[in-house]
C-alpha cells in the first residue's frame, strides 16, 4: 500500500476514483464504500485513492466544554485496516486549523480536483466537508455538473434496523457489548500497547498479568470490566482474560489500567508491543475484601473463559 503525506507526492491523474472520510474504526459500513471504490476502479481501469485525515478533525476543532474524544483507531491502525481491505493508495492530509478554513468548494475543486485529479468521487450518505461543514451531497452534485466528474452516494449500511456507524460501535464498547461492537466492525476490536513492569501481585496468587500501556491517548477502551481476550505473541495465538479498570482490590488509583492474564503462557514479554483482541465480556469489575476472594473469582473467570472459547475460535482478528 502506498501512503502519500503531501500533494507533491501524488501525480495528477484524470482517471482516478476517490473517496474521502475519517473512517474511524473501518467498520463494515466503511468496507462497503471500499468495495464499491475498488470495483468501480477496476471496471473503469482507473486508480483508486482513499483520502483521510491526521489527526481526526474533531481533535483540532473540538470545543473545550465537550467531552474528550475517544477514537476506535489511531491513524496507524486505520492504515493497517485499509491495507487489510485491499486499498492500495491512501492520501493522509495533515488536518490543522488552516486546512479547516477551506470551504467545501475549495477543498473539492482547488485542493483535490485541480491538484491531484479525479473523474469520480464516492461519498458516504451523511458525509460533510469544508469549513462549517459547508460541503455536502448537494454541493457535490452542483460541482459535478460544472466540472464534469461523476459522484456516487453510498447508502447507509444496515445490520437489521441499525445503521452502522463509528458512533454505534463506540456506544457498544462503552456498554460492555463487545460482541455487538465486533459484529459492527467486522473484526475483533483490539487495543495495542507496550507491556510494562507492574507490582507482580498477580504472580503471587497464581495469575501473573501483563500490564499493557496504551500509547495512543485518544484510543477508546472497552467499558470497565473483565473480558475474554487473545493476542498473537511470537507467531502463536494465546487466549487469556483481561481486566479493564481501576484494580480496586489492590489499588486506590483512578487511572484506568489494562492487565492481561494469558492461559498456558510463561514467558518474559516486558517491552513487547501486543495487540489485545477483545472477544467477550465476562463480568463487571468489583472490589473484593481479600486477595483470597479475588483469587477465587479469577478461578471462576478462567473457567467461564474456557467455556466461551469454542464460540470465538473463528473470530476474525487483525
Per-residue confidence (pLDDT) for residue 148, from 0 to 100:
96
Q: Return the bridge partners of 54, or none.
A: 94
Which H or E run includes 151? strand 150-154
Give the model confidence (pLDDT) of 35-91 as tens digits: 999 999 999 999 999 999 999 998 988 776 677 789 999 999 999 999 999 999 999
The confidence score (pLDDT) of residue 157 equals 84
pLDDT value of residue 68: 77
pTM of the predicted protein model: 0.92
26: left (phi over 0), alpha (psi -120 to 50) or beta: left
Cell of 193: 500497547
Looking at residue 208, what is its pLDDT?
A: 87
- pLDDT < 50: residue spans in the chain: none
Domains and CATH numbers, the chain: 2-163 (3.40.50.620), 176-312 (2.40.30.30)
Tell me what pLDDT residue 291 has. 84
Amino acid at each position: 500500500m502506498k501512503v502519500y503525506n503531501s500533494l507533491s507526492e501524488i501525480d495528477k491523474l484524470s482517471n482516478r476514483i476517490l473517496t474521502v472520510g475519517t473512517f474511524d474504526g473501518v467498520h463494515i459500513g466503511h468496507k462497503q464504500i471500499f468495495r464499491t471504490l475498488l470495483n468501480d476502479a477496476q471496471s473503469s481501469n482507473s486508480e483508486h485513492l482513499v483520502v483521510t485525515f491526521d489527526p481526526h478533525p474533531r481533535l483540532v476543532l473540538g470545543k473545550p466544554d465537550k467531552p474528550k474524544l475517544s477514537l476506535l483507531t489511531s491513524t496507524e491502525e486505520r492504515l493497517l485496516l485499509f491495507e487489510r481491505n485491499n486499498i492500495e493508495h491512501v492520501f493522509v492530509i495533515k488536518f490543522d486549523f488552516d486546512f479547516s478554513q477551506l470551504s467545501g468548494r475549495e477543498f473539492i475543486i482547488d485542493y483535490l480536483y485541480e491538484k491531484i485529479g479525479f473523474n469520480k468521487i464516492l461519498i458516504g450518505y451523511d458525509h460533510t466537508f469544508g469549513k462549517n461543514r459547508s460541503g455536502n451531497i448537494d454541493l457535490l452534485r452542483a460541482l459535478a455538473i460544472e466540472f464534469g466528474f461523476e459522484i456516487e452516494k453510498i447508502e447507509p449500511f444496515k445490520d437489521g434496523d441499525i445503521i452502522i456507524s463509528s458512533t454505534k460501535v463506540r456506544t457498544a464498547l462503552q456498554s460492555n457489548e463487545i460482541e455487538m461492537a465486533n459484529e459492527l466492525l467486522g473484526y475483533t476490536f483490539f487495543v495495542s500497547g507496550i507491556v510494562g513492569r507492574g507490582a507482580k501481585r498477580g504472580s503471587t496468587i497464581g495469575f501473573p498479568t501483563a500490564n499493557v500501556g496504551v500509547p495512543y491517548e485518544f484510543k477508546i477502551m472497552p467499558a470497565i470490566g473483565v473480558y475474554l481476550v487473545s493476542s498473537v505473541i511470537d507467531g502463536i495465538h494465546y487466549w487469556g482474560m483481561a481486566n479493564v479498570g481501576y484494580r480496586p482490590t489492590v489499588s486506590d488509583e483512578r487511572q484506568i489500567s489494562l492487565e492481561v492474564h494469558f492461559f498456558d503462557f510463561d514467558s518474559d514479554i516486558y517491552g513487547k508491543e501486543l495487540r489485545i483482541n477483545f472477544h467477550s465480556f465476562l463480568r463487571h469489575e468489583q472490589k473484593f475484601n481479600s486477595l483470597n476472594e479475588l483469587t477465587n473469582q479469577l478461578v471462576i473467570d478462567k473457567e467461564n473463559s474456557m467455556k466461551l472459547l469454542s464460540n470465538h475460535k473463528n473470530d476474525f482478528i487483525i
